[in-house]
Structure 1
């Protein structure tokens, strides 16, 4: 995707290295770009199709009276499990010494585990079982995400990070739209919908093996178990981490704004805009398509432009403003057309954000040697926002009604701008 580079694979590095320099990678790594894009697509299409459409629909079937409370409980449990899983799996990935490399084995474990979890989820018939299986799914989901992000840090030279982040964002953008679009087609057969999502997720493992061709990490120095090793690899970053935590807060606030609306899209259409099942499915499909198209367009534009101008903060801040404006649209009216305006404006902002955000994250890492763990924790802002969004929405709906969630979401996006502006290390 870099305008200044020939789109081909670089010569293979013939020995394991913890990171990649510009000298190591003179040409754009197309194969890695494809692998990261496909891997991102595989996890996001299943996750969003499930969390936004199939999961709320199954909860409504199990207990329509208490559905908002069950969503909030499920989200809380999932957030706790995802937090622990991100740290432990990311750190374990950083330390893994195997002939298949550091990242690929974990992606395979996550792919197979996610497949089984989603198939089982399609068969549950009680709220307790649903919460438990969704929590297990969070463990395997993060076994895909943390190593994928670690690969972005390990294998991509600084000169290509904006463009490669756009490749990852392209997978996210397509998967976000298709996940909801596919999920909406299975509102009458939720079990089959979960099975389809399971199969898509399982493709992440083969994609990683084929595209990454990761070298053996057995030459990596083995770290002796000690209190210092645990502090460096299994806890939150604690040295030279100011900008890192500002990026974490900004990302969380952006995701909170997004998922306060997107995580409740089914109920917003049925309970706030008062649409029937057929119209709801149609508007979900239109909304998902708009978000997907804007995400794809921005993935081709935002990352390469960021690489060319050498700036990452400005695109991220502009993206947060667009998201804030977009999520505020349904506040102005309960007419269904406002959800389409939300999709267009916020979708454009999300496309820009997803295209540049990962490059910003890598630039503020406290220690590249713990990249998967630290990027996994940063991804907690993503996962946490996805989970916290419905919790916040449930609380706001209970206290003030559906109307208020759009103002809360907009305020969250604007607060994110302040966090990104305060970052010093990145222009």
Structure 2
């Protein structure tokens, strides 16, 4: 069997590895430092645009427009329905994240293993949002939300695997910053956009359609920027018992640190979404703001989160590369998120949520800058990077679902006393930070 030339793992804008002669049947995994001497800027740009767009769409709908639509369609059931939507989405996300990551690991195409999944699933997300925009009952919304979460996780698992596939260790902190900046733009910019569309059902539908367009555009543009090379020369994986176990099951070897990082991440996101999942109701039911006040408060909070998140993400990633520290920043910023949650506990005033946003934005910015690099560093096996990163990303998705579910349970038990969801976030985030500190493989 003749040797074939494998395209560079770089992005076309760096002086990455020269082409190598490798056997057709033997794929290569990852990029060594000496193969990527300069920063892969094209990959960084693609890994900023991608998460910015899918996060804008997801958080804009889940944190603001879904609760707003439920407030119209089922006002007496809205608090109880949020955990139900979270539970069903959690099940869908758990299954699809693992399967999509594993299937992308073994995909062979002229556009590589990840790009086809990102593009097709992003378009599917957009179509589900169009359906969502015109749904007239909460049971129909639940069906659509479930299908959307399946499609969304077929985007996220292959996308994050690009860091493992194509970024040398020397650049992973900086490129994780690009990912983190995209996450910050999407996570917090979504509130600025979505808060303008909560007045009535027509406005909500318009907002959802805008997010559908953002999801579709981002899912196409990001792979175009990253230019993933063809992997048609790589032999297809055999579907025997060993390959199924390797590509579809949870890791069982060399995985202690992997699971500490996974659970720590899940608790951090759970804590964050204890507040984020109910932020509209915090302003309306806890702080008693009218519609205009809610709109203004959501925009201010989102702006604080976005600005601080981006600034500290830009700072933290290169510093992590320079000082070769990943674990400590992730752990400390996880705990910071919990500390910030105490402000709204003491006073039902909008300024306390802005104070929370300031502390949380700093923490999340630094966290997002280095979290991706930490996740890659604890992978048990680079051959199953997308599947294993998909499972870690599943923790991210589960946290976004567990958070509202935990908050809903606290509200139910406390008679809708919103004060108690804030110390709940603190406890969850502190435990998450301590688990991350237990990682041994990474400094």
Q: Does 1:154 align with 2:148?
A: no
Q: Does 1:349 align with 2:360?
A: no
**How far did residue 206 of structure 1 move?**
2.4
Could you tell me which residue of structure 1 aligns to residue 423 of structure 2?
407
Distance 1:120 1:282 in 2: 28
Q: Does 1:10 align with 2:15?
A: yes
Could you tell me which residue of structure 1 aligns to residue 328 of structure 2?
314
Match of 2:87 among 55, 67, 76: 76
Deviations 1:235-259 (A, max 9, x none): 1111111000000110011001100
Q: Does 1:302 align with 2:316?
A: yes
Contact kept in structure 2, 1:62 and 1:125, CA below 8 Å? yes
Contact kept in structure 1, 2:177 and 2:314, CA below 8 Å? yes
Q: Does 1:164 align with 2:178?
A: no
Match of 1:111 among 89, 105, 122: 122
Structure 1 residues 33 and 287: CA distance shift in structure 2, 3 A: same
Contact kept in structure 2, 1:257 and 1:327, CA below 8 Å? no
Aligned pairs for 1:86-125 (under 5 A) are: 86-125=97-136
Contact kept in structure 1, 2:173 and 2:370, CA below 8 Å? yes
TM-score by length of 1: 0.97
State the superposition RMSD in angstroms. 1.3
Q: Does 1:215 align with 2:220?
A: no
Deviations 1:140-182 (A, max 9, x none): 1112111111111100000000000000001111112211110
Contact kept in structure 2, 1:174 and 1:292, CA below 8 Å? yes
**How far did residue 47 of structure 1 move?**
0.5
Match of 1:204 among 194, 218, 221: 218
Contact kept in structure 2, 1:168 and 1:355, CA below 8 Å? yes
Q: Per the alignment, in what secondary structure is the counterpart of residue 355 of structure 1? A: helix
Q: Does 1:421 align with 2:437?
A: yes
* Superposition misfits of 4+ residues, deviation over 3 angstroms: 11-17
**How far did residue 8 of structure 1 move?**
5.1
Q: Per the alignment, in what secondary structure is the counterpart of residue 283 of structure 1? A: helix
Q: Per the alignment, in what secondary structure is the counterpart of residue 385 of structure 1? A: helix
Could you tell me which residue of structure 1 aligns to residue 77 of structure 2?
66
Match of 1:252 among 266, 278, 297: 266
Q: Does 1:41 align with 2:52?
A: yes
Q: Per the alignment, in what secondary structure is the counterpart of residue 100 of structure 1? A: coil
**How far did residue 9 of structure 1 move?**
2.1
Moved more, 18-27 or 252-261: 18-27
Q: Does 1:133 align with 2:144?
A: yes
**How far did residue 221 of structure 1 move?**
2.8
Q: Per the alignment, in what secondary structure is the counterpart of residue 35 of structure 2? A: coil
Q: Does 1:22 align with 2:33?
A: yes
Contact kept in structure 2, 1:172 and 1:354, CA below 8 Å? yes
Unaligned runs of 5+ in 1: 1-6
Could you tell me which residue of structure 1 aligns to residue 195 of structure 2?
184
Moved more, 215-224 or 192-201: 215-224
Q: How many residues align?
A: 421
Distance 1:332 1:313 in 2: 31
Could you tell me which residue of structure 2 aligns to residue 378 of structure 1?
392
Contact kept in structure 1, 2:54 and 2:219, CA below 8 Å? no
**How far did residue 72 of structure 1 move?**
1.0
Match of 1:241 among 255, 268, 273: 255
Q: Per the alignment, in what secondary structure is the counterpart of residue 185 of structure 1? A: helix
Q: Per the alignment, in what secondary structure is the counterpart of residue 20 of structure 1? A: coil
**How far did residue 327 of structure 1 move?**
1.5
Distance 2:318 2:97 in 1: 29
Q: Does 1:394 align with 2:405?
A: no
Contact kept in structure 2, 1:32 and 1:212, CA below 8 Å? yes
Match of 2:306 among 292, 313, 336: 292
Contact kept in structure 1, 2:374 and 2:442, CA below 8 Å? yes
Contact kept in structure 1, 2:192 and 2:303, CA below 8 Å? yes
**How far did residue 12 of structure 1 move?**
6.4
**How far did residue 14 of structure 1 move?**
4.0
Distance 2:232 2:374 in 1: 30
Moved more, 201-210 or 185-194: 201-210
Contact kept in structure 1, 2:53 and 2:219, CA below 8 Å? no
